Amino acid sequence: MTTTTEKSVNPQAGKAGTPLLEVRDLHVEFRTRDGVAKAVNGVNYSVSAGETLAVLGESGSGKSVTAQAIMGILDSPPGFVTQGQINFQGRDLLKLSEKERRRIRGAKMAMIFQDALSSLNPVLTVGYQLGEMFRVHQGMSRKDAKAKAIELMDRVRIPAARERVNDYPHQFSGGMRQRIMIAMALALEPDLIIADEPTTALDVTVQAQVMDLLAELQREYHMGLILITHDLGVVADVADKIAVMYAGRIVETAPVHELYKQPAHPYTRGLLDSIPRLDQKGQELYAIKGLPPNLLRIPSGCAFNPRCPMAQDVCRTDIPVLHPVTDSRGSACHFWKETLDG
């Protein structure tokens, strides 16, 4: 194992070509009445075509805010991107005008939200809302757009699409609505899809259907997929690589198999230990002590230090950089070697 701490981790190493999307040193803050909440504090990640990156984190870890910054749908004010680059197909999105970004959104990159019911317009039919993608971006006629909408609904396996195209969102079940969201994201065959907790609101049997569909469509269209979730089970099922976020930073990034086998950050290890498993009935659950930090007052040094069983003095003063563990994985812990060894 190398000890060159200067070398930056490139999870893309070994893969040909430049990544589809590359986020570099992204900082986002929210200027609120109570002070400045630093939601994202220097995030780096990349996704290639056909690859699934899972971004894992608890509420407030900055996983969704990063996605909103990429899509350009950050509520501003109070949210501001203060630093960083978002390179997408060779262009820095943060340097583009709002008009140019709007042309990319939907056509080149699309997002699937957690709550399909509140993401769809309740007073318009799903056919109209699906067809809108074609009318606005491609100037299609109403009739052609509707035909396209039916085709899309078929594509995401909504039964009797032709009869249901004129139904309103409330007439569909939760799983079907999420399919419509997927159809809408896929409409213009984008190169990148960001799915923010796409199955969290669904029941397990429906969740399995929707994740299967998403994975299949991704393979077929060879899209890059960023899957934002808090569910370690979903990640293990579909992701190629994973980035674990805590208090606005990536604390660990690794190919999915390696991370589950041997986590290199105490937070990741705590998360893995704290989930009860179906095939292993244990005694007392391991619990990470304490609470996630308040973003208005992030602890100095490593943000995880007040909850970390391995914390030393250095953790309270120095912010750990993302040390390369291997060519393809990194850990932002001063004691990553000790963590890796168990």
Q: Which residues bind other proteins (CB under 8 A)?
A: 58-59, 159, 173-176, 203-209, 211-212, 230-237, 239, 256-257, 260-261, 270-272, 274-282, 284-289, 291-292
Query: Residue 315 Cβ, how far from other proteins at the closest point, in Å?
Result: 18
Nearer to other proteins among residue 105 and residue 230 (C-beta): 230
Radius of gyration of the chain (CA): 21
Tokens of 335: 């004691």
Query: Residue 259 Cβ, how far from other proteins at the closest point, in Å?
Result: 8
Contacts 24+ apart (CB under 8 A), 126-133: 126/153, 126/164, 126/165, 126/167, 126/168, 126/169, 126/172, 126/180, 127/165, 127/166, 129/180, 129/184, 130/180, 130/183, 130/184, 130/187, 133/106, 133/184, 133/187, 133/188
Tokens of 46: 């990349």
Nearer to other proteins among residue 23 and residue 239 (C-beta): 239
Query: Residue 138 Cβ, how far from other proteins at the closest point, in Å?
Result: 32
Nearer to other proteins among residue 50 and residue 255 (C-beta): 255
CA 100 – CA 103 distance, rounded (Å)? 5
Query: Residue 230 Cβ, how far from other proteins at the closest point, in Å?
Result: 6
Query: Residue 176 Cβ, how far from other proteins at the closest point, in Å?
Result: 7
Number of other residues whose CB lies within 10 A of the CB of residue 108: 15
Nearer to other proteins among residue 95 and residue 281 (C-beta): 281
Query: Residue 98 Cβ, how far from other proteins at the closest point, in Å?
Result: 34
Query: Residue 308 Cβ, how far from other proteins at the closest point, in Å?
Result: 12
Nearer to other proteins among residue 23 and residue 213 (C-beta): 213
Residues contacting 329, CB < 8 A, separation 6+: 9, 11, 252, 253, 254, 255, 258, 259, 264
Nearer to other proteins among residue 167 and residue 237 (C-beta): 237
CA 71 – CA 40 distance, rounded (Å)? 15
Nearer to other proteins among residue 23 and residue 232 (C-beta): 232
Query: Taking a C-beta distance cutoff of 8 angstroms, is the pair 35, 90 a contact?
Result: no
Tokens 């934002």 sit at which residue? Answer: 228
Query: Residue 302 Cβ, how far from other proteins at the closest point, in Å?
Result: 16
Q: Which helix (H) or strand (E) holds 46?
A: strand 35-47
Query: Taking a C-beta distance cutoff of 8 angstroms, is the pair 258, 329 a contact?
Result: yes
CA 241 – CA 254 distance, rounded (Å)? 6
Q: Which helix (H) or strand (E) holds 185?
A: helix 174-186
Nearer to other proteins among residue 77 and residue 282 (C-beta): 282
Nearer to other proteins among residue 66 and residue 199 (C-beta): 199
Query: Residue 266 Cβ, how far from other proteins at the closest point, in Å?
Result: 12
Strand partners for 52: 225
